[in-house]
Amino acid sequence: MSIEVNGTLVWFYNICKREVWLMSRNIVPDQHNENIEIGRFIHEYSYKRKEKEISFGNVKFDVMFKSKEKLVIGETKKSSKYKEASKWQLIFYLKVLKEAGINADGVLLYPEEKKREEVILNDENIKKLEEIIKDIKKICNKESPEPVKKIGFCKNCAYKEYCYA
């Protein structure tokens, strides 16, 4: 099965590997789960966009700063709870931009917590991201998903009923 890894899968890879498999198989999550709808979660978990934004695919980022040499794209989040997932997702997009010939740095902003985290694309991150992408493909090509592992995210997950039926 050939799978095109996108930023959403990178995000979920850092939350739940079982979910990555379920998403790759287009298994439809619980439509009655009003909490979360796959694909919308990350969007709602972020703030509304500002006027200056950059978009690629269905993803949009705020442009924080732009000079001749560098673009800085920002993602403003409501909480740093899933900061590792957000970091790798942003690194994924920085790499997509780089492949399109745009050098950019990233920043994750958590205004309610008065925190910010710089995210850069360096050789180390690229290597780790490539491993993540390889592993995502490996997960998606398995016959069956990872077993259910109870994590805090399960209570908000659209697959909750599927996993705990």
Residue number of the CB atom closest to ligand SF4 = 157
Nearest distance in Å: CB 163, ligand SF4: 3
Write out the residues near ligand SF4 by the rule CB under 6 A: 16, 18-19, 22, 148-149, 151, 153-154, 157, 159-160, 163
| φ, ψ for residue 158, nearest 5 deg | -70, -20
Distance in Å, CB of 104 to ligand SF4, minimum: 31
* Nearest-approach distance from CB 140 to ligand SF4, in angstroms: 14
Give the ranges where the chain is alpha helix by DSSP (H). 7-13, 17-24, 41-45, 83-99, 123-140, 160-163
Nearer to ligand SF4, 117 or 146 (CB): 146
C-beta of 47 vs 82, nearer to ligand SF4: 82
Residue 106 Cβ vs ligand SF4, minimum distance, rounded to whole Å: 25
By the 10 Å C-beta count (0-12 exposed, 13-18 middle, 19+ buried), 6 is classed as middle
DSSP string, 129-150: HHHHHHHHHHHHTSSSPPPP--
Strand partners, 104: 71
100 or 165: whose CB is closer to ligand SF4?
Answer: 165
Nearer to ligand SF4, 141 or 156 (CB): 156
Closest by CA to 104, choosing from 132, 133, 62, is 62
- C-beta of 135: minimal distance to ligand SF4 in Å? 16
Spatial distance between the Cα atoms of 161 and 159, rounded to a whole number of angstroms: 6
Q: Which is nearer to ligand SF4, 84 or 130 (CB)?
A: 84
